[in-house]
Amino acid sequence: MKRKIFKTAGLFMLMVLPLFTSCSDDDNNNTNQDGNTIADIASANQNLSILVQALDRANLVATLDGQGSYTVFAPTNQAFENFLDDKGFASINEVPVATLKEILLNHVVSGTAISSSLETGYVKTLGKGSASATNTLSMFVNTSNGVVLNGGATNGGATVTTPDIMASNGVVHVVNSVIDLPTVTSHAIANPDFSVLVQALTRNDQPDFAGILSGTQSSPFTVFAPNNAAFTSLLTELNLPGLASIPQATLENTLKYHVVTGQNVLSTSLMDNMEVGTFQGGDFTVNLEGGASITDANGRVSNIIATDVQASNGVIHAINKVLLPQM
């Protein structure tokens, strides 16, 4: 008997990789400071004074002053001032404590990751959005040109400007922007392997998929997101020269077919022969035997190649073939 989960409305994602890739080694000016915790280092740096105020307001100073091992991406005062202006707050004291706490925790990763250990891929922060009570937020780290987090400042992320300030309980990397809680949309934009998916979602004859998947209406979303290779394969299969050649209705229905609304379905909840109802209205079937895969309405099979990339408003699972609904 098939087990059913419900609807969806969008798309995005890629592989879960190790911890980051190398920042430049230019800034190895910061050797280990025995006895100096992360909280101590932040307090001693005038350019991080608003961060210290924020940590105190969110009752997180003790966490970063204690035992354990953490990597902290520390926004400068200018980064916080820009964030407050963008959000319409006059000062850090106007930010609701619960919101501030999650934003700050979204700058913290367990373990000590110095610049030479950073690799392109996803890591888990300590922050949580509203979509899941158990799966912490994912952060996409791109090391192709320095270290860029969640697509950089224009996408709600940041760039590391000063790496490797070593502490007795971890390491601090100074960043140029406050890292906002990622949405399904911003995660898709951050990952270069979803660039074709983003083009599809933002094609000018399509609904506002980017807006939908950035918001909370009908959320949380579970998105089965095809990577770039999946779209290349689809165009070959359909004998089309490019994304622009896909008819409007076909593309809209196809994109909607990859999204489930109202549920944050983690990989641990997927079951063999599970029938999934999508935002498009059609169903597909999840199979676990021999590796996780999806069989679409046309009997085509796509492998699930990465799981549980958590956003504040949903979760992404990457697939290697575009799913096609019954038209």
The model carries a pTM of 0.90
C-alpha atoms less than 13 angstroms from C-alpha of 173 in its C-beta half-sphere: 32
Contacts of 245 (CB under 8 A, 6+ apart): 235
Domain enclosing residue 41, as ranges? 25-117+138-180
Whether 146 shows a pLDDT value over 60: the answer reads yes
Q: Could you tell me which residues are beta bridge partners of residue 25?
A: none
Structure confidence at residue 35 (pLDDT)? 62
Q: End-to-end alpha-carbon separation of the chain, Å? A: 25
Amino acid at 220: P
Residue percentage of the chain with pLDDT more than 90: 88
Whether 231 shows a pLDDT value over 80: the answer reads yes
Instruction: Tell me whether residue 126 is in a domain.
Output: no
Instruction: Tell me whether residue 326 is in a domain.
Output: no
Instruction: Tell me whether residue 242 is in a domain.
Output: yes
Q: Within this chain, do residues 191 and 275 fall inside the same structural domain, yes or no?
A: yes
Q: Within this chain, do residues 217 and 161 fall inside the same structural domain, yes or no?
A: no
Q: Within this chain, do residues 173 and 83 fall inside the same structural domain, yes or no?
A: yes
Token pair for residue 317? 């699972």
* Banded model confidence at residue 31, pLDDT cuts 50, 70, 90: very low
pLDDT (mean) for 57-78: 96
Q: Within this chain, do residues 29 and 176 fall inside the same structural domain, yes or no?
A: yes
Instruction: Tell me whether residue 125 is in a domain.
Output: no
Report yes or no: 2 and 273 within 8 Å, Cβ to Cβ: yes
Report yes or no: 61 and 39 within 8 Å, Cβ to Cβ: yes
Contacts of 212 (CB under 8 A, 6+ apart): 9, 10, 218
Report yes or no: 172 and 72 within 8 Å, Cβ to Cβ: yes
Q: Looking at 6-20, 129-143, 148-162, 270-284, which range is the least confident one?
A: 6-20
In which element (H, E) is residue 232 found?
Answer: helix 228-238
pLDDT (mean) for 94-99: 98
The average confidence (pLDDT) of the chain is 91
Q: Within this chain, do residues 76 and 161 fall inside the same structural domain, yes or no?
A: yes
Q: In whole angstroms, what is the distance from residue 234 CA to residue 196 CA?
A: 12
Instruction: Tell me whether residue 123 is in a domain.
Output: no
Structure confidence at residue 32 (pLDDT)? 45
Query: Checking DSSP bridges between strand 70-75 and strand 108-110, what pairing results, if any?
Result: antiparallel
Count of domains for the chain: 2
Structure confidence at residue 111 (pLDDT)? 97
Whether 11 shows a pLDDT value over 80: the answer reads no
Structure confidence at residue 7 (pLDDT)? 35
Q: Within this chain, do residues 89 and 203 fall inside the same structural domain, yes or no?
A: no
Q: Within this chain, do residues 166 and 277 fall inside the same structural domain, yes or no?
A: no
Alpha helices by DSSP H, 144-213: 184-190, 195-201, 209-212
Q: Within this chain, do residues 40 and 169 fall inside the same structural domain, yes or no?
A: yes
Among the candidates 128, 150, 180, a domain finishes at: 180
* Banded model confidence at residue 327, pLDDT cuts 50, 70, 90: confident
Q: What is residue 217's DSSP assignment?
A: T
Instruction: Tell me whether residue 324 is in a domain.
Output: no
Whether 26 shows a pLDDT value over 80: the answer reads no
3-state secondary structure 34-79: CCCCHHHHHHHCHHHHHHHHHHHHCCCHHHHHCCCCEEEEEECHHH
Q: Within this chain, do residues 216 and 295 fall inside the same structural domain, yes or no?
A: yes
Structure confidence at residue 34 (pLDDT)? 54
Q: Within this chain, do residues 8 and 88 fall inside the same structural domain, yes or no?
A: no
Q: Within this chain, do residues 201 and 280 fall inside the same structural domain, yes or no?
A: yes
Q: Within this chain, do residues 151 and 72 fall inside the same structural domain, yes or no?
A: yes
Q: Could you tell me which residues are beta bridge partners of residue 236?
A: none
pLDDT (mean) for 149-175: 98
Whether 21 shows a pLDDT value over 80: the answer reads no
Whether 308 shows a pLDDT value over 50: the answer reads yes
pLDDT tens readout for residues 249-304? 999 999 999 999 999 999 999 999 999 999 999 999 999 999 999 999 999 999 99
Structure confidence at residue 1 (pLDDT)? 34
Instruction: Tell me whether residue 130 is in a domain.
Output: no
Structure confidence at residue 17 (pLDDT)? 41
Report yes or no: 10 and 209 within 8 Å, Cβ to Cβ: yes
Instruction: Tell me whether residue 131 is in a domain.
Output: no
Token pair for residue 278? 């999508």
Q: What is residue 119's DSSP assignment?
A: B
Q: In whole angstroms, what is the distance from residue 198 CA to residue 248 CA?
A: 15
Q: In whole angstroms, what is the distance from residue 287 CA to residue 161 CA?
A: 44
Whether 18 shows a pLDDT value over 80: the answer reads no
Better-scored residue on pLDDT, 233 or 15: 233
Among the candidates 165, 180, 195, a domain finishes at: 180
CATH code of residue 171: 2.30.180.10
3-state secondary structure 276-320: EECCCCCEEEEECCCCCEEECCCCCEEEEEEEEEEECCEEEEEEC
